[in-house]
Structure 1
Amino acid sequence: MSWKTAYRSFYYATAEEPDDIRLDPDTTALLVVDIQTTYLEDKETPEETERWRPFFDHMRGTVIPNNQRLIAECRERGVEVIFARIACQKNDGRDRSLSQKKPGFNYLLLPKDRPDGQIVPELAPQGDEIVVMKTTDSALTGTNLRLLLHNMGIKDVIVSGIFTDQCISSTVRSLADESYGVVVVDDCCAAATLELHKRELEIINMIYCHVVQLDEALGFFE
């Protein structure tokens, strides 16, 4: 199935197929969101680690290797590669947004210099590639990414990373509201479960972004 017909929600079930996508490397950025060491570590108990095992396996077997390829291809084409990661400036985390202070899965205390808060080594930024730190779900909210994209003349943003139903979705919606063309790479993203991942892609597809596969995305470059 082509990206033009996949992940159709109720709203777009009968919509016409979108036009072909053409990406100019000079005005396109790749934004890799929150693929940080902490999310690949074992959980507090063996039982909880096993509950997350499908996610860990999917990240190691598919998402990280696919992001390695996507990043390498973008670098080769001269596409701006940008990373976002969750990190707070204060050691006690009082600068975090409320969503990261609430108890539960979203509770995150990742001071900016902690090793487990860094981008996974396989995807480490190179040279002068930009890394924005955020205490919010959206990579645009609470960072200067909006200004950076504008200053560099970016018009289209390719988005990859985790979690599809949280920070990816929030970032995509923010980018769409700022009138960027947004492409989300399905097989370079993940949620905690495949069901959550697919459901969120269906929700955001066509209204906030176009959901595509890695090979399709690489074919969009002029």
Structure 2
Amino acid sequence: MPTSWKNSYRSIYYADAPAPDDPHLPLKETALLVIDVQNVYLERPARATLTPAQQAHYDAWTPFHERMHNQVIPRTAALLKLARAAGMECLFVRIACQTEDGRDRSLSQKMPGWNNLLLPKSGLPSQIVPQLAPAGDEITLTKTTDSALTGTNLRLILHNLGIRHVICTGIFTDQCVSSTVRSLADESYDVIVLEDCCAAGSETLHHKELEIINMIYCHVMSSAELIEIMHLGQQPKP
């Protein structure tokens, strides 16, 4: 059987499950959600200025940056263009705090380590990357949690917009994307994750998390498969 979204990313729980049908995604009930693709995650120092230990850390993150610049950002930008032309709702979330000292952050974002983020909402690091910037009156939500549903009024907004199907893209696959997907699924939203429009700190983490969430919390597919299913680019704007 050729590889497609219907037989990829199968965990042991769903190894023998029947192939799902193509989803029915009415434009007016479907939203594209871009999660946390912010300047802070794409900034890098000059490698030559780093110590050997810092260079090793830099090199470990190079595949992530290559994936973001060569695949995730351009494919998400292309999908945004098609979604906008078709009249689909496009929403954005980002991590940012309301205060300059970050006292409003959640506990997980105050704990020591990689996830210790101080991103005041008006600072350049907290802004969405220019290639994926919201356009017109598209909605951007600010959170200090992993789940966009838990940390914002996204739930109410989706309800008011009449959305039942959410297409998720962004970073990090195993953190904010996964947390948002699980929250949406628990509230009976139909969720699709676009595997080529997401990234984790490593390819291993990315693929393992997709295997974990696929078939139970969402359906995982490529942006090309979604475009074909929805006939994006082949229909006039309603």
TM interval, short-chain normalised:
over 0.9
Deviations along 1:144-200, one digit per CA (max 9) or x if unpaired, are 000000001001000000000000000000000111100000000000100000000
Q: Which of 103, 113, 124 is equivalent to 2:133?
A: 124
Which amino acid is the alignment partner of residue 120 of structure 1?
A: V
Runs of 4+ off more than 3 Å? 43-47
Number of the residue aligned with 1:16: 18
C-alpha deviation, 1:42, in angstroms: 1.4
**1:203 matches 2:212:** yes
Q: In the TM superposition, what are the counterparts of 1:15-34 in structure 2 within 5 Å? A: 15-34=17-36
TM-score, length-scaled by structure 2: 0.91
Distance 1:220 1:118 in 2: 32
Number of the residue aligned with 2:159: 150
Between stretches 156-165 and 46-55, larger displacement belongs to 46-55
* Percent identical residues: 59
Distance 1:52 1:172 in 2: 24
Aligned residues: 222
Q: In the TM superposition, what are the counterparts of 1:80-119 in structure 2 within 5 Å? A: 80-119=89-128
C-alpha deviation, 1:94, in angstroms: 1.1
Number of the residue aligned with 1:37: 39
C-alpha deviation, 1:221, in angstroms: 1.8
Which amino acid is the alignment partner of residue 174 of structure 1?
A: S
C-alpha deviation, 1:93, in angstroms: 0.7
Distance 2:120 2:32 in 1: 25
Distance 2:228 2:148 in 1: 26
Number of the residue aligned with 1:68: 77
C-alpha deviation, 1:49, in angstroms: 2.0
Larger radius of gyration: 2
Deviations along 1:31-77, one digit per CA (max 9) or x if unpaired, are 00000000011167433222211111110011100111111111111
Q: Which of 210, 215, 224 is equivalent to 1:215?
A: 224
Between stretches 50-59 and 186-195, larger displacement belongs to 50-59
Unaligned runs of 5+ in 2: 232-238
Number of the residue aligned with 1:161: 170
Distance 1:182 1:41 in 2: 30
SS at match of 1:52: helix
C-alpha deviation, 1:219, in angstroms: 1.9
Number of the residue aligned with 1:4: 6
C-alpha deviation, 1:17, in angstroms: 1.0
Q: CA RMSD in A?
A: 1.1
Deviations along 1:98-135, one digit per CA (max 9) or x if unpaired, are 11111111111100000011000011100000000000
Unaligned runs of 5+ in 1: none
